[in-house]
Amino acid sequence: MRTPATIREVGLRDGLQLVKQFLPTESKIAWCKEESLAGLKEIEVTSFVPPSVVPQFVDAADVVAATLSVSGLEIAALVPNFKGATRAFEAGVHKINYVLSASEMHNQANVRRSTEDSLQDFERIASERNTRKLPTKIVGGIATVFGCTIQGAVPEARVFEIAERLRNLGADELIIADTVGYANPRQVRRMLQRIVEIFAGPVYAHFHDTRGLGLANVSAAVDAGVTRFDASIGGLGGCPFAPGASGNIDTEDCAYLLESIGFDTGLDIEKLVALRNKVAHWLPNERVGGTIARAGLPKTFVPTQSKRQSAEPTVQHASVQ
Amino acid sequence: MRTPATIREVGLRDGLQLVKQFLPTESKIAWCKEESLAGLKEIEVTSFVPPSVVPQFVDAADVVAATLSVSGLEIAALVPNFKGATRAFEAGVHKINYVLSASEMHNQANVRRSTEDSLQDFERIASERNTRKLPTKIVGGIATVFGCTIQGAVPEARVFEIAERLRNLGADELIIADTVGYANPRQVRRMLQRIVEIFAGPVYAHFHDTRGLGLANVSAAVDAGVTRFDASIGGLGGCPFAPGASGNIDTEDCAYLLESIGFDTGLDIEKLVALRNKVAHWLPNERVGGTIARAGLPKTFVPTQSKRQSAEPTVQHASVQ
């Protein structure tokens, strides 16, 4: 039996947030359905930011409503503040990814307040969930963990402190994000080893491939005991504060890496490549990457056991390991 | 003090071997001189194959003659057989990289004989060097170590056996090549650990980034104790038997990875990027990649100590560690 590993699709959020062209709601829903058929169990489907800031997400509630009905799919949404969380609660998401930056300057640029204020908002959101007795998971996302294009270095001690605070404030899961593509494998291994110890719950790593080290960092994260990764079909996405950024690691390439080093992702890579080609067709002005889409799988590639046993999409929840 | 790591440029050989456009001899020489000024200490400048097979290398002897005069630069050439080695000896190269494939089918396709016959040719070359009392290093290169697009899987035991044979036949160094981009980090770490034990001399890893794992494999090779890597400016290159292959790992991106995880490559990455841009200009029809060329170095990047101390190119030999 292979060890399971989880890839969460974030292309609909991180990938689309800088895309000027509005991707029709039906296409977003089709994307989720098709990816679920490829074996994906969790998708960050949208962001509850003000539509005036990111018009792409004007249909957030509609996308959530439609995708909640896809069997076996865990629906997450990003929120930047309490107001966004309120909208996400009302939409009925399974999981709220609340993101703050370890870099003070990035937090100010991104959500116009201090990291400390953002932590207090996290507390309010968790408290609101408890008061309403909702089953929604509240996730603490830490951005710019490995450095910041505005501030430069981010003290590691500050990152560890925030991880501990989020744990104490009741975060169900953690996301550790290299928002600007500064991380290197040695740093990833060292920092994630410590974070996994501190948090003692599910930790997702979120890497951007800005400087070619995205998959090297995934491999290093695996060494540190992390088996959950955010990724975006075709590597779609970027960061407004990281000029030239090439976006998230590719979902299909990340699946290839994890399967090739012996994990069971439950994913059908060829179906992911077909979806990547569809997304590239939908968004003709965007850079959609992918090495597996170009070069194909090796002859020596052994698909995951679960795929050989059944062509049905698995319905196991992403949070069960 | 940082641990030294070596990058050898192979773009002039592996990069150019599939390029139809003839790069003028003066450009090849200028490439070597400029890369030496960026701190590079070793270049595989050409291949002694019959010009009828690869017209690009018709100027092999001229390129060697001109680059031998660049101070502090070790000049290597690839040879596929005894005849090529004879030409390389006459040209006066410092190092002969003799390549055979662990995959029988790849060896047949590449040099039209068995791996065993190729090993016997290696013995003849080493013997010729000894008879002539030449200082030339003879290097054993093993291709398709991690799998083959023709044959599929390559038995690991066969690779280890060839490494041992090459050691016993007097190879000064070893090159372990993922010719077709099939390697994954777990396999790289496992196999290189064993090969480093068997060979007990300098081992170079040669990765292609065909399926996005090139730099993840470099990172895994470092874990196995390997600190010498082949790379190509802008990732120029590929393999005739690996369709869609994106070529070697990028010299400048590999330097960024090694420096970022704490090694001293002695390289000036910005000068490498300038050379990459020049090569892209020389070869307008080729795919020239590079993430650092696109995204730039992180604000947090700390250059190697040797660079901070001196702007002069180091003259230390690549083989000294």
pLDDT tens string, chain B, 321 residues long: the values are 889 999 999 999 999 998 999 999 999 999 999 999 999 999 999 999 999 999 999 999 999 999 999 999 999 999 999 999 999 999 999 999 999 999 999 999 988 999 999 999 999 999 999 999 999 999 999 999 999 999 999 999 999 999 999 999 999 999 999 999 999 999 999 999 999 999 999 999 999 999 999 999 999 999 999 999 999 999 998 655 555 556 899 999 999 999 999 999 999 999 999 999 999 999 998 888 889 998 999 999 987 755 555 444 443 333 333
Residue among A215, A163, A221 at smallest CA distance from A193: A221
pLDDT surpasses 90 at A33? yes
Q: Do residues B106 and B144 touch, judged by C-beta distance below 8 A?
A: yes
Cα distance from B78 to chain A (closest Cα, Å)?
A: 26
Q: What is the pLDDT of residue A313?
A: 44
What is the pLDDT, as a whole number, of residue A237?
A: 82
Residues in A touching B178 (Cβ below 8 Å): none
* A205 CB neighbour count, 10 Å cutoff: 27
Return the active site residues of A: 239
Task: Supply the pLDDT for residue A92.
Answer: 98
Grade residue A299 by pLDDT with cuts at 50, 70 and 90. Answer: very high
Could you give the CA distance from residue B23 to residue B35 in angstroms, rounded to a whole number? 16
B295 vs A245, A250, A262: nearest CB: A245
Q: Which residues of A touch B294 (CB under 8 A)?
A: 244, 246
Residue B25 in tokens: 């001899």
Residues 6+ apart with CB under 8 A from A137: A94, A95, A96, A172, A173, A319
For the range B63-70, what are the long-range contacts, defined as Cβ-Cβ under 8 Å and sequence gap of 24 or more?
B63/B12, B63/B25, B63/B28, B63/B29, B63/B32, B64/B88, B64/B91, B64/B92, B64/B93, B65/B91, B65/B92, B66/B25, B66/B29, B66/B32, B67/B29, B67/B32, B67/B33, B67/B43, B68/B92, B68/B93, B68/B94, B70/B32, B70/B33, B70/B36
Do A9 and A67 form a contact (C-beta atoms < 8 A)?
Answer: no
- Which three-class secondary structure state does DSSP give residue B44? strand
Q: Sorting pLDDT into bands at 50, 70 and 90, what band is A13? A: very high
Determine the Cα–Cα distance for residues A307 and A292; give it in Å rounded to an integer. Answer: 18
Q: Rounded to an integer, what distance in angstroms lies between the CA atom of residue B166 and that of residue B76?
A: 18
Contacts of B205 in chain A (CB under 8 A): none
Where is average pLDDT lowest: A50-54, A228-232, B39-43? A50-54
DSSP A56: G
Most A CBs within 10 A among B261, B276, B287, B292, hence the mutation to make, goes to B261
How many Å apart are CA B159 and CA B115, to the nearest integer? Answer: 11
Task: Please count the helices (runs of H) and the strands (runs of E) in chain A.
Answer: 12, 10
Cβ atoms B245, B180 nearer than 8 A:
yes
> At residue A58, does pLDDT exceed 70?
yes
pLDDT > 90: percent of chain A: 86
**What is the complex's ipTM, to 2 decimals?**
0.92
Residues of chain B positioned with their CB less than 8 A from the CB of A152: 299-300
- Residue B243: the pLDDT is 54
Chain A residues with CB inside 8 Å of B216's CB?
185, 215-216, 218-219, 257
Nearest to A253 among B185, B212, B298 (CB): B212
Using DSSP's 3-state secondary structure scheme, residue A211 falls into: coil
Give residue A321's pLDDT: 33
Partner residue opposite A216 with nearest CB, options B180, B219, B243: B219
Amino acid B314: pLDDT: 41
Residue B2 per-residue DSSP state: P
Query: Would you call A262 and B296 a contact, using CB atoms and an 8 Å cutoff?
Result: no
Q: Measuring CA to CA, which residue among A29, A162, A33 is closest to residue A100? A: A162
Q: Average pLDDT of chain A?
A: 92
Structure tokens at B261: 């995880």
Q: Which among A156, A213, A218 is the top mutation candidate for probing chain B, defined by the most B β-carbons within 10 Å of its own β-carbon?
A: A213
Contacts of A299 in chain B (CB under 8 A): 147-149, 152-153, 182
Helix (H, G, I), strand (E, B) or coil at B318: coil
- Provide residues of A within 8 Å CB-CB of chain B: 147-149, 152-153, 180-182, 184-187, 209-213, 215-216, 218-220, 242-246, 250, 253, 256-257, 260-262, 291-292, 294-296, 298-300
Longest dimension (CA), chain B: 54
Among B181, B219, B260, select the one facing A295 at the smallest CB separation.
B181
Evaluate if residue A77 carries a pLDDT over 90.
Answer: yes
Going from the N-terminus, what domains does chain B have, and what CATH number goes with each?
Answer: 3-309 (3.20.20.70)
pLDDT score recorded for residue B241: 53
Mutate to test the interface with A, among B211, B248, B250 (most CBs of A within 10 A): B211
CB-based contacts of A7, cutoff 8 Å, min separation 6: A40, A228, A229, A230, A231, A251, A254, A255, A258, A265, A267
Whether residue B212 and residue A291 make contact (CB cut-off 8 A), yes or no, is yes
B91 CB neighbour count, 10 Å cutoff: 20
* Nearest Cβ partner for A152 among B220, B256, B300: B300
Q: Which residues contact A59 (CB under 8 A, 6 or more apart)?
A: A25, A28, A46
In chain A, DSSP assigns E strands to: 3-4, 6-9, 42-47, 74-79, 95-101, 137-143, 173-178, 203-207, 228-231, 263-264
Whether B256 and A211 lie within 8 Å, measured CB to CB: yes
| Strands (E) located in A208-315 | 228-231, 263-264
With CB atoms and an 8 Å threshold, state whether A295 touches B182: no
Contact call for B291 and A212, based on CB within 8 A: yes
Q: Which residue in chain B has the smallest CA separation from A221?
A: B216
B124 to chain A nearest CA, in Å? Answer: 34
Cβ separation B291–A209 shorter than 8 A: yes
Q: Cα separation of B198 and A28, whole Å?
A: 54
Give the percent of chain A with pLDDT over 70: 92
Residue with tokens 């060292």: A190
- Residues B125, B82: contact at Cβ < 8 Å? yes
Whether residues B257 and A213 touch (CB distance < 8 A) is answered with yes
Q: Which one of B217, B219, B248, B276 would you mutate to disrupt binding with A, by most A Cβ within 10 Å of its Cβ?
A: B219
Flag if A246 and B291 touch (Cβ within 8 Å): yes
The predicted structure's pLDDT at residue A249: 96
Q: Which of B211, B250, B253 sits opposite A295 (nearest CB)?
A: B211
Tell me the pLDDT band of A96, cut-offs 50, 70 and 90. very high
Query: Smallest CA–CA separation between A150 and chain B, in Å?
Result: 8
- How far is A132 from A134, CA to CA, in rounded Å? 5
**Active site members of B:** 239
Residues of B in contact with A238 (CB under 8 A): none
Residue from the list A180, A292, A299 with its beta carbon closest to the beta carbon of B152: A299
